[in-house]
């Protein structure tokens, strides 16, 4: 989505940058590197600061592609790409978009997990805003330090639950940076709109307290009323400094994620991707899988391993979808069962359940293990959101295949090292009958002469389009109905050729089209719900597509 005004650093005329010389070359939004033309080099004081040959963007992409492919491992490739993004955003996004399947696993899952673990050691240049407890009472001032007043999209984390890796404190900044990169590459949100934020309230990870490379506060994580007051100040500052901004909550711990979403959802346009984005992605995969099983949504019995924000978020959206197809709320909830670290979530289990688990605590005898729960409940779909690897054992998968002709098995935990099972295990142990999806990518699997291509149930299919749609109509609120519309749109874009190879998501190469379609569905829902603050265009989707950012160089003179 392109800014309505000139990108930061351009003159009021919109042609010649206000910057020149080395200042221009160090502005990643405006820098073209060796692609500056002869006229631009003379007009903008660049003569002599660049080697004499002028390259095209296509030639720069080829050079960068060769360079990154020479790197020995994914983390080194990540470092190269981040450095490129910090130098020349147009080139970075052109490279990523032209090779989306190759580079999404580098700039986001699974490599971003390793990057966060080593963030302090590989730290080169700050990107985004770090707001720590030392800035209490000054958050609005800190937000004004950002290079542009035109911020429309903020991704914020406090680092407590980074992917399946746990509390990484300030080193969780890799997540907001990566998510906003996907907003631009996958949905065309202009990078000048985007602001990554890490709220540093300490960490309960003792290794970070003693780590020599840790970049954050070496103190225990703030909790309770003081934490709430700090978040309240942050939200008030965002509303004051960036009043048109959409806020995405990212990787907050379970104790805060649900209540922060509920508290602020109607105060400013915001959503939690771990709860709502994951829910829409998983529901879309399940809807697509039903085209293979020939089943109906209201007849499914879903068993979740993991009862945190991702799992209960999926269940909540499943319930909304099932209700729209005729089930009562109580009937729909009875279709969803959970196993957490203590066993089957049930009434009168003996421990105090977290509030988000209570709607799914059914009357049933206690079951201590996943294997026993599968045997007793006979689910049609098994969804892993536990962050615990290898928990979908051979016995579990064989049992799923024994009472389902096409068992649905989604191992959604990220990164790859946390997946509940591999694609190869799911296909092999089910005799090639599983409908499998995972959070991180797995390669195709050959089994008994048939090639299975696993779908990646990654939120990349949902959150960029939802954010784009909300921005396009300047929605006052992002609702669950919008996520349900996004899920149905995504499921509808799974083609027969995808299903033929077992994939329940579209090819990643179609992600810009997917995001545009989802954005249009979200914007339509916002208009229908009376939440859009801009006039309704005659053709919503065409309007959105016309405003999506395309990384090409513009001529300055």
Classify residue 273 by its DSSP letter. Answer: I
Catalytic residue among 32, 77, 179, 418: 179
At CA 230, angle to CA 227 and CA 236, rounded to 5? 140
Q: By the 8 A CB rule, do 197 and 155 touch?
A: yes
Q: By the 8 A CB rule, do 521 and 485 touch?
A: yes
Q: Is 179 a catalytic residue?
A: yes
Residue 85: name the closest of 551, 554, 556 by CA: 551
* Structure tokens, 300: 């499914």
Classify residue 17 by its DSSP letter. Answer: B
Q: By the 8 A CB rule, do 392 and 425 touch?
A: yes
Q: Is 448 a catalytic residue?
A: no
Catalytic residue among 32, 77, 93, 108: 108
C-alpha dihedral sign at 146, 148, 151, 154: negative
Q: By the 8 A CB rule, do 208 and 164 touch?
A: no
Q: Is 45 exposed, middle or buried (0-12, 13-18, 19+ CB in 10 A)?
A: middle
Give the three-state DSSP class for 221: coil
C-alpha dihedral sign at 492, 497, 500, 503: negative
Q: By the 8 A CB rule, do 339 and 345 touch?
A: yes
Q: By the 8 A CB rule, do 271 and 179 touch?
A: no
Contacts of 358 (CB under 8 A, 6+ apart): none
* Structure tokens, 122: 């590989």
C-alpha dihedral sign at 144, 145, 149, 151: negative
Give the three-state DSSP class for 468: helix
At CA 131, angle to CA 128 and CA 136, rounded to 5? 155
Q: By the 8 A CB rule, do 314 and 333 touch?
A: no
Which residue bears the tokens 């694609």?
A: 423
Residue 454: name the closest of 338, 324, 296, 285 by CA: 285
Phi, psi torsion values for 437, nearest 5 degrees: -145, 155
Instruction: Compute the distance between CA of residue 268 and CA of residue 101 in angstroms, rounded to an integer.
Output: 34
C-alpha dihedral sign at 65, 515, 274, 184: positive
Q: By the 8 A CB rule, do 113 and 414 touch?
A: yes
* Structure tokens, 367: 């079951």
Instruction: Compute the distance between CA of residue 496 and CA of residue 501 in angstroms, rounded to an integer.
Output: 9
Q: Is 412 exposed, middle or buried (0-12, 13-18, 19+ CB in 10 A)?
A: buried
Write out the catalytic residue numbers: 108, 179
């Amino acid at each position: 989505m392109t800014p309505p005004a000139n990108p930061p650093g351009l003159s009021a005329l919109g042609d010649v940058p206000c910057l020149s010389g080395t200042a221009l070359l160090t502005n990643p939004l405006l820098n073209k590197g060796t692609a500056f033309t002869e006229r631009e080099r003379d007009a903008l004081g660049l003569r002599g600061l660049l080697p004499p040959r002028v390259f095209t963007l296509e030639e720069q992409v080829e050079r960068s592609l060769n360079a990154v492919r020479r790197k020995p491992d994914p983390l080194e490739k990540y470092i190269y790409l981040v450095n490129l993004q910090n130098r020349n955003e147009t080139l970075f996004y052109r490279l990523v978009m032209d090779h989306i399947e190759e580079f999404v696993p580098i700039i986001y899952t699974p490599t971003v997990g390793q990057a966060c673990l080593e963030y302090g050691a590989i730290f080169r240049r700050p990107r985004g805003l770090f707001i720590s407890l030392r800035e209490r009472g000054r958050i609005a001032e800190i937000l004004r330090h950002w290079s542009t007043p035109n911020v429309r999209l903020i991704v914020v984390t406090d680092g407590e639950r980074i992917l399946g890796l746990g509390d990484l404190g300030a080193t969780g900044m890799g997540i907001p940076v990566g998510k906003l990169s996907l907003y631009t590459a996958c949905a065309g949100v202009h990078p000048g709109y985007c602001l990554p934020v890490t709220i540093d309230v300490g960490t309960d990870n003792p290794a970070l307290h003693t780590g020599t490379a840790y970049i954050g506060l070496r103190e225990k994580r703030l909790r309770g009323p003081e934490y709430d007051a700090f978040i309240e100040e942050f939200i008030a500052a965002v509303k004051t400094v960036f009043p048109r901004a959409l806020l995405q909550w990212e990787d907050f711990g379970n104790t805060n994620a649900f209540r922060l979403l509920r508290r602020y959802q109607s105060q400013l346009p915001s959503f939690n991707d771990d709860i709502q984005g994951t829910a829409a992605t998983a529901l879309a995969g399940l809807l697509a899988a039903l085209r293979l099983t020939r089943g109906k949504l209201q007849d499914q019995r879903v068993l979740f391993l993991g009862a945190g924000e991702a799992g209960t978020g999926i269940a909540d959206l499943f319930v909304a979808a099932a209700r729209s197809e005729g089930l009562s709320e109580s009937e729909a909830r009875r279709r969803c069962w959970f196993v957490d670290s203590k066993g089957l979530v049930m009434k009168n289990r003996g421990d105090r359940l977290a509030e988000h688990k209570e709607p799914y605590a059914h009357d049933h005898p206690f079951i201590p293990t996943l294997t026993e729960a599968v045997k007793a409940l006979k689910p049609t779909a098994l969804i892993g959101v536990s962050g615990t690897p290898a928990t979908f054992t051979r016995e579990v998968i064989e049992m799923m295949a024994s009472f389902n002709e096409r068992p649905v098995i989604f191992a959604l935990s990220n990164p790859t090292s946390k997946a509940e099972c591999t694609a190869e295990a799911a296909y092999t142990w089910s005799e090639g009958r599983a409908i499998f999806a995972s959070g991180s990518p797995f390669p195709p699997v050959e089994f008994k002469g048939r090639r299975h291509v696993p779908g990646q149930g990654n939120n990349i299919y949902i959150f960029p389009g939802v954010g784009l749609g909300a921005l396009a109509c300047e929605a006052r609120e992002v609702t669950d109905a919008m996520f349900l519309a996004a899920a149905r749109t995504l499921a509808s874009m799974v083609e027969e050729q995808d299903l033929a190879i077992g994939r329940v998501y579209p090819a990643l190469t179609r992600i810009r089209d997917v995001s545009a379609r989802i954005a249009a569905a979200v914007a339509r829902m916002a208009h229908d719900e009376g939440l859009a603050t801009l006039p309704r265009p005659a053709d919503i989707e065409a309007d959105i597509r016309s405003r999506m950012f395309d990384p090409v160089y513009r001529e300055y003179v």
